[in-house]
Amino acid sequence: MHLLSNCSKHYLIIPVEHIPTVNDLQRRNEDYTLVSHMINVGETLLRRDAPQSNQYRFGFHQPPFNSVDHLHLHCFALPFIPRWKQLKYMSLGPLGGFIEAEKLLEKIKPLSPIPP
């Protein structure tokens, strides 16, 4: 759990393999499967530890706005407290900022079908 939390719960899901940033992910099965697994772990933790929250949010910081050069997924049980803390987790379009996990999955989805 992230101790300087902006929400009732804020987890960071970090893969063992070193991947510097979301820009290092590609349209391949391994990357898509990794990000999907990270989201599933985050959802499981938040459902277990913040069942009272009716909204969750998942995403990644993108360069140049990432402060840690190791891929990590932010998992939030909303709302942000105080509300202005959500500014740190906003998309800045082509400038980077924060990318929602589902949007990243769309971006790295392999062109060929993923085997079961």
Domains of the chain: residue spans and CATH = 9-108 (3.30.428.10)
Residue tagged active-site, from 10, 61, 72, 74: 74
Residue pair 76/90 in contact by the 8 Å Cβ criterion: no
107 backbone φψ class: left, alpha, beta (φ>0; ψ -120 to 50): alpha
Q: pTM for the complete prediction?
A: 0.82
74 is catalytic: yes
Q: Tens digits of per-residue pLDDT, 48-64?
A: 998 888 889 899 988 88
Q: Is the pLDDT of residue 29 over 90?
A: yes
CA 72 to chain CA centroid, Å, is 7
